[in-house]
Amino acid sequence: MAQKIYPGASVCIVKNDQIVFQQSYGTYTPATPVYVASAGKWIAAATIAVVVDKTKLDWENPVDRWLPEFRGNPQGKIKLRQLLSHTSGIRDYLPDPEIDTFSVLKKSVERIVQLSPSFSLGSRFQYGGLAMQVAGRMAEVAYKKEFETIFEEEIARPLGMKNSHFIPINLEEGHAPMLGGGLQTTLNDYIHFLSMIYHDGIYEGKQILKKETVAEMQADQVREASVVSGEYIEKAFGSFHTGIYGLGEWREKLDSNGVAYQISSPGWAGAYPWINKKDSVYGFFIAHVQSSRLDKDFSPFYDAPIISNLTSAIVHNSDRKQGFADMGDAQLFYEEKGVGTPVILLHAHSVDRRMWDAQFDALAKHFRVIRYDLRGYGLSSMPAEGKEFTACEDLKRVMDFLQIPKAHLVGLSLGAMVLSDFMTMYPDRVLSAVLADGALSFDLQPKEPEQDLKTFKANWKASMREGSCADSPFLISLIDDWRMWQVSHRESPKLFLGTSARNYYETNKVKTPVLFFVGACDFEGTKKAVAELSALIPGSKISTIKNAGHFSCIEKPEEFTEKLLRFITESLCNF
């Protein structure tokens, strides 16, 4: 909003049926009507689901059972569930420059039936909107009323959604409802809908949808259909699974059994509704982007989950202070806990601040502990491609923002590389330094962004297992959450100091107390780099952690924490 990409916005977050946060910005209020694009798919599917509950319409019904214009057409065998899960083969949009301006859904569908399919039914997933028009027409025939009337009678009125209507974007009323992107609604209205879904179809004691129907909408409906690279779940979360969609809603996060515990329906213009059953939370961010002001490094669609991820972080960690440190051109998410001398934890590549979970709470009993997501990781801003920055300068700015003149610094792998650079630039701000499973930075060489991110992440996880003594589900879960910006974009060539940092250590005597940790099973290249830098720092020590690999703080948390506490305490005494 500071960049005027959004003229305003409203947000409401509910936990355990209590509003825990609600705020409006700019020109918005909770009653401001907004076109929410694909955020309407969820509500459109729920409207059709009511018809399934109350008539003979069934998810397994083929189109031609209800729509005679499809009889004799191969597309007539498409099932209702395939229309709402983007696996029908019906093309995603009308051919350019056509716009659906038909007066009723029947006319809209008569145009759609003339279009050649994009693929054979059920063979792949292709996100779009036209198939939902056909599903809506099936509901009309089964219910014997127009879609807008069904929506008003079965969803809007029972839920008190007084300001919600399905009309096409940028077109006057009187045209066919645009089920896939034409909903106009308000924050207040949509929150009522989310409450109903969260409570398994019940709103204020009244059954709107059957519990089984809500569960069916949230179940994997992609099934055996193929999912090509580049879909929403991959781009927004860096996650790779084929069960990405239900009926009118995305299956954002799955448990170990493949059951979706976070579901959503983001719109291209910025509206983002979601439910997280594990956190007992649901929320809605409503906005409509000014497309002429869009930044190429920001996507209202793919970047929307920052809201749900941030909410989860706050819900899980209410015992600590959290916020964003302003870098001027980026916002870095941080957490702090405890009081006393500051200790700052710097995470590794491909993970985020959560890798320090075991050490964070233990250290907070003795110190003021800060951990943050480096730029491009976790909840922090993604870098702007082509814009230069250094990671060690970001660390200085975080310290300045939190008014920390000096601190004990702890970094692992990538974090150790940031720390080794920082000690050359700002040695007077380091009380002590612990570099785990990493040492000097290197000069970045320009590389082309990866295209096959799924294969890259699979190979990366395999390599991390090779550098470990034992498989760590926690580590793999962190890597699963990595969005891989650094792989799919060109990083700043000045991210690290490279040769200049090495020259500093070769020509200057570092007086700061320095301890190196290295896992016994770590990569030989890491062990060599640690030994080389240790040799350049008088008085530094190397502590080997047995039965640990590259992520020693995760693999052997008790030993790592005990040695870390002892070193920092001794450094304070000597200081």
Give a yes or no: residue 508 inside a domain.
yes
The answer on 168 and 23 residing in a single domain is: yes
Q: What pLDDT sits at residue 442? A: 78
DSSP class of 230: T
Pairing of strands 165-166, 281-286: unpaired
Residues near 481 by Cβ (< 8 Å), separated by ≥ 6? 237, 238, 239, 352
DSSP class of 497: -
**If DSSP codes are grouped into helix, strand and coil, which group holds residue 490?**
coil
- Poorest-pLDDT segment among 170-174, 181-185, 206-210: 170-174
Exposed, middle or buried, 89 (CB in 10 Å: 0-12/13-18/19+)? buried
Exposed, middle or buried, 4 (CB in 10 Å: 0-12/13-18/19+)? exposed
What's the rounded mean pLDDT across residues 28-56? 97
Instruction: Tell me if 232 sits within 8 A of 266, measured CB to CB.
Output: yes
> What is the per-residue pLDDT across 47-106, written as a single tens digit (0 to 9) for each?
999 999 999 999 999 999 999 999 999 999 999 999 999 999 999 999 989 988 888 999
Q: Give 146's pLDDT tier (boundaries 50, 70, 90).
A: very high
> What is the per-residue pLDDT across 514-573, written as a single tens digit (0 to 9) for each?
999 999 999 999 999 999 999 999 999 999 999 999 999 999 999 999 999 999 998 876
Residues near 448 by Cβ (< 8 Å), separated by ≥ 6? none
The residue out of 249, 276, 293 marking a domain boundary is 293
Give a yes or no: residue 535 inside a domain.
yes
The answer on 362 and 496 residing in a single domain is: yes
Q: Give 167's pLDDT tier (boundaries 50, 70, 90).
A: confident
The answer on 275 and 215 residing in a single domain is: yes
Exposed, middle or buried, 517 (CB in 10 Å: 0-12/13-18/19+)? buried
Q: What angle do CA 180, 185, 188 make, to 5 degrees?
A: 135
Give a yes or no: residue 476 inside a domain.
yes
The answer on 282 and 344 residing in a single domain is: no
Residue 389 has pLDDT above 70, yes or no: yes
The residue out of 293, 328, 359 marking a domain boundary is 293
Give a yes or no: residue 447 inside a domain.
yes
DSSP class of 329: S
The answer on 467 and 553 residing in a single domain is: yes
**If DSSP codes are grouped into helix, strand and coil, which group holds residue 352?**
coil
What predicted TM-score, i.e. pTM, was given to this entire model? Answer: 0.91
The answer on 333 and 287 residing in a single domain is: no
DSSP string, 426-471: -GGGEEEEEEES-----PPPP-PPPS-HHHHHHHHHHHHHHTSSS-
**Residue 167: CATH number of its domain:** 3.40.710.10
Average per-residue pLDDT in the chain? 94
Q: Give 168's pLDDT tier (boundaries 50, 70, 90).
A: low
The residue out of 293, 308, 342 marking a domain boundary is 293
Residues near 226 by Cβ (< 8 Å), separated by ≥ 6? 123, 124, 125, 242
What's the rounded mean pLDDT across residues 116-138? 96
What's the rounded mean pLDDT across residues 289-316? 87
The answer on 455 and 399 residing in a single domain is: yes
Q: What pLDDT sits at residue 175? A: 77
Q: How many domains does the chain have?
A: 2
- Poorest-pLDDT segment among 189-198, 291-300, 323-332, 375-384: 291-300
The answer on 339 and 289 residing in a single domain is: no
Phi, psi of 26 (to 5 degrees): 60, -130
Q: What pLDDT sits at residue 43? A: 98
Q: 290: how many CB neighbours lie within 10 A of its CB?
A: 14
Q: Give 387's pLDDT tier (boundaries 50, 70, 90).
A: confident
**Residue 555: CATH number of its domain:** 3.40.50.1820
Instruction: Tell me if 121 sits within 8 A of 77, measured CB to CB.
Output: yes
The answer on 528 and 391 residing in a single domain is: yes
Give a yes or no: residue 313 inside a domain.
no
Q: How far apart are CA 564 and CA 562, in angstroms?
A: 5
Instruction: Tell me if 338 sits within 8 A of 369, measured CB to CB.
Output: yes
Q: What pLDDT sits at residue 173? A: 56
Q: How far apart are CA 384 and CA 326, in angstroms?
A: 15
DSSP string, 155-175: IIHHHT-TT-EE--TTS-TTS
Q: How far apart are CA 512 and CA 571, in angstroms?
A: 9
| Cis peptide bond prior to 97, omega within 30° of 0 | yes
Give a yes or no: residue 65 inside a domain.
yes
Q: What pLDDT sits at residue 99? A: 85
The answer on 404 and 283 residing in a single domain is: no
Domain that residue 327 falls in: 318-574
DSSP class of 496: S
> What is the per-residue pLDDT across 435-490, written as a single tens digit (0 to 9) for each?
999 999 877 777 888 888 999 999 999 999 988 888 899 999 999 999 999 999 98
Give a yes or no: residue 425 inside a domain.
yes
Q: What pLDDT sits at residue 176? A: 85
Q: What pLDDT sits at residue 112? A: 96
Q: What pLDDT sits at residue 307? A: 95
The answer on 322 and 288 residing in a single domain is: no
What's the rounded mean pLDDT across residues 252-270? 96
The answer on 147 and 91 residing in a single domain is: yes
> What is the per-residue pLDDT across 318-357, written as a single tens digit (0 to 9) for each?
889 999 999 998 999 999 999 999 999 999 999 999 999 9
Give a yes or no: residue 281 inside a domain.
yes
